[in-house]
Amino acid sequence: MSWLRTLAAGAAAPIYPSIGAGMLAEVEQLFASAPGLRRAASPRDAALLLVAGDIPAEARPALDRLHDQLPHPRRTLAWKAGEPSTQISARLNEAWRDLAHGAPSEPDRLPDEPPNPWRGIGPHGQGGKGMMGGTPRGRPMAMTGADIRDGLELDRYTARVGPFAPMLPPGLTLELTLQGDVIVEAHVLSLPFPQPEEADLPALCAARMLRLLGLEGAADRMTRGHAPRAAWIRGAVPAGLGAWPGAGDARDRLDAWLSGRQEGGAPRDPARALPGLEWHEATLLLASFAPGTLRRALAEAQDLQEIPA
């Protein structure tokens, strides 16, 4: 199958970036302009894990989990601040060519243990008893709770999302409880990583929202510094989403960015606004604030909450 490997080596390198402190803007520029690189939507679609910038010690376990979710063959590359993007781009391309030609894959970083022991437990060895009991195949089943919109007692799914989730600002970890695709509870576990001021540039902020609206091409175009070519950009953002006094709503902020202005207002405790929102609305809301603004607002809210306790 060497012809298949030769063919594959010529393809764009599929990369999942895990973005650390200070590298958000640079990673975005890299994927918008460097040739031969493709930003994968999830690690399953990637062969290379790009670790950009410094990853704080708290985020290391998450990085290990992410690493192990890349299918074989896989390889990790670190991109430290200061290395020019042409150089990292060349390294990434070379690593992909190696992998395509059969270079060895990296082993798992975490031990091969299920989240809970289950083998041999229960009447059929599936790890559980009865209809809902035990930990069938290693995990318990979700249990019911009342919904905040219509009160139906359906299951609540609790998970921690982030810090390297593609739809959240890098570094932000949320503990979310979902009913269907609506968030019924949200807590901030870790703040977004600090980013340099250039990450707050209007064009980059607008591009992040465009990506969430499915306009990959237009977002790349904005990142490269041109006006986007797309229809229904404003209209696609629901009116009134993420409205704060003095900060307008998400649509206003996108408008401001599209016309090259920095948005002015800051939200108060944005995480509190998440419950009650559908998933897409929630991601749009978080993306409708510049990373720096969002980080400050989340940090302030955390300080506030710690005092009365």
Rounded to a whole number of angstroms, the minimum distance from the CB of residue 128 to another protein is 5
Burial (CB count within 10 angstroms: exposed 0-12, middle 13-18, buried 19+), residue 48: buried
Position among 51, 88, 100, 199 found at the interface with another protein (CB under 8 A) = 100
Burial (CB count within 10 angstroms: exposed 0-12, middle 13-18, buried 19+), residue 239: exposed
Interface with another protein includes 78 (CB under 8 A)? no
Peptide bond into 166 cis (omega under 30): no
Interface with another protein includes 296 (CB under 8 A)? no
Rounded to a whole number of angstroms, the minimum distance from the CB of residue 24 to another protein is 15
Interface with another protein includes 144 (CB under 8 A)? yes
Task: Report the distance separating Cα 78 and Cα 136, nearest Å.
Answer: 38
Complex with another protein: residue 82 or 235, whichever CB lies closer: 235
Complex with another protein: residue 67 or 295, whichever CB lies closer: 67
Q: Nearest CA to 172 among 68, 43, 291?
A: 291
Please state the φ and ψ torsions of residue 215, each to the nearest 5 degrees.
-105, 70
Rounded to a whole number of angstroms, the minimum distance from the CB of residue 298 to another protein is 13
**HSE-up of residue 173 (Cα within 13 Å, Cβ side):** 13
Interface with another protein includes 20 (CB under 8 A)? no
Q: Answer whether 64's CB lies under 8 Å from 30's CB.
A: no
Rounded to a whole number of angstroms, the minimum distance from the CB of residue 130 to another protein is 7
Position among 109, 121, 256, 266 found at the interface with another protein (CB under 8 A) = 109
Complex with another protein: residue 261 or 272, whichever CB lies closer: 272
Complex with another protein: residue 197 or 264, whichever CB lies closer: 264
Complex with another protein: residue 91 or 139, whichever CB lies closer: 139
Interface with another protein includes 90 (CB under 8 A)? no
Please state the φ and ψ torsions of residue 41, each to the nearest 5 degrees.
-75, -30
Rounded to a whole number of angstroms, the minimum distance from the CB of residue 188 to another protein is 11
Tell me the C-alpha to C-alpha distance, in Å, between residue 16 and each of 92, 120, 184, 251. Answer: 11, 37, 29, 29
Which residues 210-269 are close enough to bind another protein by CB under 8 A?
A: 210-218, 220-221, 224, 226, 228-233, 235-245, 249, 268-269
Which residues 151-190 are close enough to bind another protein by CB under 8 A?
A: 151-155, 157-168, 173, 177-182, 184-185
Interface with another protein includes 116 (CB under 8 A)? no
Interface with another protein includes 89 (CB under 8 A)? no
Strand partners, 55: none
Position among 84, 113, 120, 303 found at the interface with another protein (CB under 8 A) = 113
Q: Which residues contact 120 (CB under 8 A, 6 or more apart)?
A: none
Rounded to a whole number of angstroms, the minimum distance from the CB of residue 83 to another protein is 23
Residue 160's identity, in one-letter code, is R
Task: Report the distance separating Cα 246 and Cα 240, nearest Å.
Answer: 13
Burial (CB count within 10 angstroms: exposed 0-12, middle 13-18, buried 19+), residue 260: exposed
Which residues 51-70 are close enough to bind another protein by CB under 8 A?
A: 59, 62-66, 68-69
Complex with another protein: residue 277 or 290, whichever CB lies closer: 277
